[in-house]
Amino acid sequence: MKRFWAWGALIFGLLYFLLPLVGMTNFSLKMRRGSYSFDAYAVVLSDPRFQETFTYSVVMALFTIAFGVLLVVPTAYWIRLKLPGLRPYVEFVTLLPLVIPAIVIVFGYIRLYNTSSWLPLTGSATGTNILLMFGYATLALPYMYRSVDTGLRAIDIATLTEAAQSLGAGWTTILAKIILPNVLVAVLSGAFLTFAIVIGEFTMAALLNRPAFGPYMQLLGANRAYEPAALAVIAFGITWGCLGLIQLVSRFQKGAQSAA
């Protein structure tokens, strides 16, 4: 009986998530009357605004990932090595973006960094891009920190650090050549999640008036019929592609460890 309910719950969950996706995909293929076609996808992919906004979001995602790695890896490493008593407090801070709405964060940014403030980041496109990157990094912080912290928990960082120092390695060398390679899968997991968040984020990009992919999806959805469904399928595929890459990288590392 337990197995029956378990399979029933699994089938219900699959149908709950898959049926809307199937319906949306089916609708996106009906732009040409009387037959299935990829016309909606062709229109979306050939739209210069799609290419511009998607490229912008990809570039912002790469910068956000780089900034997140440079911020989180040394912080998580130093807390585990030297300041374990601060770990609960740091974890609490990293969880705040999950409970504070993005609109609150971005309004705080605008209030602090507007053109009349001591650091007028919103006064230029470059400054606004930097501010948006900080916002994206804040939204991704819970996932990036959790991934890196889990990776650090799986290795003996104290022994590795002592061994590296005994050979004359400095802190930069230890982080770049010893710690980072050992938590690379964890970092990549956080990076793929960050990429998925940045690609679909709407609130911050819209309120900061940046040409990102999220506002473009909203604008297209308000003015077209079939193209938004095609765009949603594309965005869904990107998100699941990131999750698939996480699993692939994890299995690759497990295979490499087993072979070693």
* DSSP assignment string, 120-173: -GGGSHHHHHHHHHHHHHHHHHHHHHHHHHHHHHTS-HHHHHHHHHHTT--HHH
In tens digits, the chain (260 residues) has pLDDT values of 677 788 888 888 888 888 888 888 888 888 877 778 888 888 888 888 888 998 999 999 999 999 999 999 999 999 988 888 888 899 899 999 988 888 999 988 888 888 888 888 888 889 999 999 999 999 999 999 998 998 888 888 888 889 888 888 888 888 888 888 888 888 888 888 898 889 888 899 999 989 998 888 888 877 777 788 888 888 888 777 777 777 776 666 655 555 45
Q: What are phi and psi of 34, to 5 degrees?
A: 85, -5
Q: How far apart are CA 239 and CA 202, in angstroms?
A: 15
pLDDT value, residue 63? 95
d(CA 199, CA 58): 7
Helix (H, G, I), strand (E, B) or coil at 118: coil
User: pTM of the prediction?
Assistant: 0.84
How confident is the model at residue 233, as a pLDDT? 84
As a whole number of angstroms, the distance between CA 234 and CA 251 comes to 25
pLDDT of residue 196: 85
pLDDT (0 to 100) of residue 252: 65
Q: Give the model's pLDDT for residue 129.
A: 93
Residue 149 CB: number of other CB atoms within 10 A?
Answer: 22
In 3D, which of 220, 195, 86 has the Cα closest to residue 144?
195
Q: What is the pLDDT of residue 71?
A: 92
For the chain, give percent helix, strand, coil, nearest 5. Answer: 85, 0, 15
Q: How many CA atoms lie within 13 Å of 219's alpha carbon, on the beta-carbon side?
A: 13
Distance CA(55)–CA(57), nearest Å, equals 5
Predicted local confidence at residue 254, as pLDDT = 59
Task: Give the gyration radius of the chain's Cα atoms.
Answer: 22
Farthest CA pair distance, the chain = 74
Under DSSP, the state recorded for 34 is T
Instruction: Give the pLDDT score at 132.
Output: 93
Q: Measured between alpha carbons, how far is 147 from 30 in angstroms, rounded to an integer?
A: 41
**Nearest one of 79, 209, 82, 81 to 145, comparing CA atoms:** 79
